Structure 1
């Protein structure tokens, strides 16, 4: 006869058996998914060898994928459908937290890519902002992601340069198809692209950026190696690559420009509305309508305008807000610089100001180094403000905070929002989040590159709200600069939608920006042209920031005394970027763990 204790023992034994069995099955599911991720990554490598170079994988440094051909696109979309089918066979509920994030990440990435397959995106292969020809110039200059430390690496680059020329030919052929179907760029953008290509195709080898590597050979190279490489550069770079740039510039000027569209947005071309919906999903990971973004933008513009009025009053300025903007733009006290070096030093000083406060908000720091650098001359004129280029821990390449300084005397410390800009683009914005992602050895390899701009840009814009806690915004001028930056992102929700749905033309968009932020007409024009060239990308900033702020407010209220800002930030930036729906589910699980 079994006693009560015997029954309890059997019950406990049975429970433990079930737990062990369940855990084993979960481990099996997670292990199977990891193999799927590895398989996906291995098969995906040949689709974008230049990306692999940027990620520090140099097995493909001599290759270029012609992603503009019909054959390439068919292969890529078949690949997407295959892996979506594989994901459907995985039991999502049995996955651990990390694998649920990666599952949702891959599913959204594949689904979004397939949504783009219904549009002829290849008919608009590049703009002045999204441009493989310009990226190629950065790769070939010798101090970017493409390594130039051995003769073999020089030869790999020369092979890549030869393989890039068919890409240029296909781009030209596709743009002709675009002309025939009406899927063309706005004239204003074409006029910005032509000088970029002319500069990169410049036949003066003494100044052309592509010849920098043979102007600065490593000290270990022999004279024979140098002379051999110089001859090959003359044959391939001067003889083939540079002429392809000049031919593309001539094509754009003589054939494409006259057929380019007069309107500013996608709504004016066939397939335009479908393209815009695709870009919205690509850059926000949502299926929200343009009108939803527009209404959110109007609310944010109104809120920030109220905050600006308070700063204007504190400043003792009695005029209108627009007059205050003009004062901030024009008064010499806000333009103190004489040389590019002084501008760079000002950003170094901001970095020094921030450093002592980082430990009050973060318990993780990237291992990758960080540098402040001036933008290269060939792209400085078209650069729309400071930007960040990711580090590669594997290559020991630092992250670069790039600063354009066309004219140091016109750099305005206030309406540029120097402190807020540094926090966003550099530390603890992009450099923290992207470097930690790059250094995270537990992430599947396919997640090493940031794919969800709504998270990446949302995080960086959220960081701007931490300025006071990081020792910044102590002056009214820099507080106004921070508000101006925030306003700029709110205005993007309004202007981007208006441009691409036909509610505003280019000039109306420029005027709208100037009425609502402290910005020069030239900078307003550059901003509007960026939104024209980069549909929906401008929506990612505020969309991501508002979601992170919503989660912060939700869990501050829900967790009460258990809420810890350092732990909240740790959770946000140690798992890599992700779509917003995945972020929402992940943070809900994180909050439950804080209650234990």
Structure 2
């Protein structure tokens, strides 16, 4: 079908608008607030209708004649085709609506949480939307009970859902009513709706305990064929699982050797593991954890500006907040929530998981050891400046929509960029102390381990306990944090490998840019890369180097 570029972009926007109608919480996350009062409809007719729409959209985007498009539009067409394929694969082959009972809980808790944490409108307006969403919680969880096939549910997913539901109760019974007190006229209604939502969650907990967990025997592994399809179609990586695993092990061993070299500079009589274990004892107290992160964010931002490392988008801001209890099972340390591409105010949120005051003393200390001063600066630069926050807010300034959505297709560039920044900031002197350099390398060892476990869990029959033991024994994670990590790996095939593999792809781009532009300063190189948006590095290479690079093709 021959259409103009302008019409192509109108079709892109129309598809995204329809997607946001089907996924109203995603719409809130993206900064489209027309659906803030709704939660998703997970009824069978709604799911079948979306399945048909995806098939129609794929045929449409694949059928466009792009011969008259400029390079950017042709890249965007490839992105849209692969994005729709990814949505289709998830719906039809991974089938989370029938296999993941946690999906329905996340719809409810995330839908409420985003309205509280994102200050895009006055609190009263957001609470009105929240009230509507709270009233929809019982229906969403009822749809979950109707859809979930207990025998198809992996036990680990059922366990995560149960723990998330138990923690989520306090969100509905305590956190939401507390937030609503800021608007006395709405507070009683919000409290009643929140109480009914909590009752629905309690009923869902019974469902999980009595009907799902005793029968859960599904396999979380996607298998080699689907895993390699995701590598090829989502990340545009031409690599087999065997090659990926080999790369992971090579990087793992190289990083271990480099860690021992740096450890020798610190104390020649101790191993890297011993030094890092001792360094874990040097951490903030539970009460000062948030303030320490806030100060580090300010320091790293100043460093990026003063050293002219990259342009910081005008109008961006970042606030540091505690992770709500319902998200603790998934976020052992910290996480960044970016402003959506449609958000008028580009404010990111950096979540720091607090220490559970009700946990035993030894568990509280174990959590704090994961926030050691040896690692804290690395976490800050990775999540904030020049890492995720800078990159994603930069992408949100781009003129066309598809590059802003690229991170929903592939995590390769987004996670690779933040990880690339870690070594970059060491070379530039931000990570200056030997113990911090060792901490940075230990994070690289962790990311290499993620490649190994990503492949192992999904294509080699590796179990959860085996993977947890690997992270504790070989990487040095605390066991509770290792379990949270592995639980996530089981639900996100090909994502864990993207940190280190993405970094390698970005390093290739940087070296190629330097080869072609020997005098280019760092800020120019980074501007060129960041201006491509959140797209897979293979498309970025084409965008940067044009016709001298191999031609475009849509992966099969």
Work out whether residues 411 and 498 of structure 2, in 8 Å CA contact, stay in contact via their aligned partners in 1: yes
Distance 1:105 1:281, change over 3 A: same
Pick aligned residue for 2:64 from 64, 71, 90: 90
Determine the structure 1 residue equivalent to 2:347. 398
Determine the structure 2 residue equivalent to 1:139. 114
Shift of 1:480: 0.6
2:235 maps to 1:284: yes
Pick aligned residue for 2:193 from 236, 257, 271: 236
**Aligned partner of residue 384 in structure 1, secondary structure:** coil
2:12 maps to 1:37: yes
Work out whether residues 354 and 471 of structure 1, in 8 Å CA contact, stay in contact via their aligned partners in 2: no
Pick aligned residue for 1:81 from 55, 58, 66: 55
- For structure 2, the residue ranges without an aligned partner over 5 or more in a row are 356-363, 550-556
Pick aligned residue for 2:176 from 210, 214, 220: 210
The aligned runs of 1:39-188 (5 Å cut-off) are 39-66=14-41, 68-116=42-90, 117-127=92-102, 131-139=106-114, 142-144=116-118, 147=121, 149-150=123-124, 153-175=126-148, 177=149, 179=150, 182-187=151-156
Work out whether residues 415 and 519 of structure 1, in 8 Å CA contact, stay in contact via their aligned partners in 2: no
**Aligned partners of 1:355 and 1:190: how far apart in 2?**
44
Shift of 1:400: 1.4
**Aligned partners of 2:238 and 2:45: how far apart in 1?**
29
Work out whether residues 29 and 91 of structure 1, in 8 Å CA contact, stay in contact via their aligned partners in 2: no
**Aligned partners of 1:79 and 1:36: how far apart in 2?**
13
Over alpha carbons, which structure has the higher Rg? 1
**Aligned partners of 1:69 and 1:280: how far apart in 2?**
31
Distance 1:482 1:515, change over 3 A: same
**Aligned partners of 1:436 and 1:314: how far apart in 2?**
38
Determine the structure 2 residue equivalent to 1:356. 303
**Aligned partners of 2:105 and 2:378: how far apart in 1?**
25
Deviations along 1:396-451, whole A, 9 cap, x unmatched? 362111112314783355596222211111111110111122233x1227945831
Distance 1:156 1:209, change over 3 A: same
Distance 1:135 1:39, change over 3 A: closer
**Aligned partner of residue 156 in structure 1, secondary structure:** helix
2:505 maps to 1:552: no
**Aligned partner of residue 123 in structure 2, secondary structure:** coil
Shift of 1:203: 9.9
Q: TM-score, normalised by structure 1?
A: 0.81
**Aligned partners of 1:147 and 1:249: how far apart in 2?**
33
**Aligned partners of 2:387 and 2:420: how far apart in 1?**
8
Between stretches 406-415 and 116-125, larger displacement belongs to 406-415
The aligned runs of 1:419-568 (5 Å cut-off) are 419-440=377-398, 442-444=399-401, 447=404, 450-451=407-408, 452-557=410-515, 559=516, 561-568=518-525
Determine the structure 2 residue equivalent to 1:266. 220
The aligned runs of 1:9-24 (5 Å cut-off) are none
Work out whether residues 285 and 454 of structure 1, in 8 Å CA contact, stay in contact via their aligned partners in 2: no
**Aligned partners of 2:103 and 2:59: how far apart in 1?**
37
**Aligned partner of residue 284 in structure 1, secondary structure:** coil
2:168 maps to 1:200: yes
**Aligned partner of residue 443 in structure 1, secondary structure:** coil
Pick aligned residue for 1:253 from 199, 203, 209: 209
**Aligned partners of 2:57 and 2:240: how far apart in 1?**
28
2:309 maps to 1:368: no
**Aligned partners of 1:579 and 1:446: how far apart in 2?**
10
The aligned runs of 1:375-414 (5 Å cut-off) are 375-380=323-328, 382-391=330-339, 394-396=343-345, 398-406=347-355, 407=364, 410-412=368-370
**Aligned partners of 2:403 and 2:434: how far apart in 1?**
44
Deviations along 1:86-141, whole A, 9 cap, x unmatched? 3344333432233223212111101222333234332223549993243134136x
Work out whether residues 61 and 146 of structure 1, in 8 Å CA contact, stay in contact via their aligned partners in 2: no
Deviations along 1:447-474, whole A, 9 cap, x unmatched? 4583132221111111112112443221
Work out whether residues 382 and 421 of structure 2, in 8 Å CA contact, stay in contact via their aligned partners in 1: yes
Deviations along 1:336-393, whole A, 9 cap, x unmatched? 4234325532551364155234443213434211122222344346522111011358
Deviations along 1:179-222, whole A, 9 cap, x unmatched? 2xx321224x43343233123335984xx2221332222xxxxx
**Aligned partners of 2:78 and 2:229: how far apart in 1?**
18
Work out whether residues 424 and 463 of structure 1, in 8 Å CA contact, stay in contact via their aligned partners in 2: yes
Determine the structure 1 residue equivalent to 2:158. 190
Distance 1:369 1:43, change over 3 A: same
**Aligned partners of 1:277 and 1:130: how far apart in 2?**
30
2:538 maps to 1:581: yes
**Aligned partners of 1:517 and 1:119: how far apart in 2?**
30
Shift of 1:548: 0.8
**Aligned partners of 1:364 and 1:410: how far apart in 2?**
31
Distance 1:186 1:293, change over 3 A: farther
**Aligned partners of 2:199 and 2:431: how far apart in 1?**
50
2:214 maps to 1:294: no
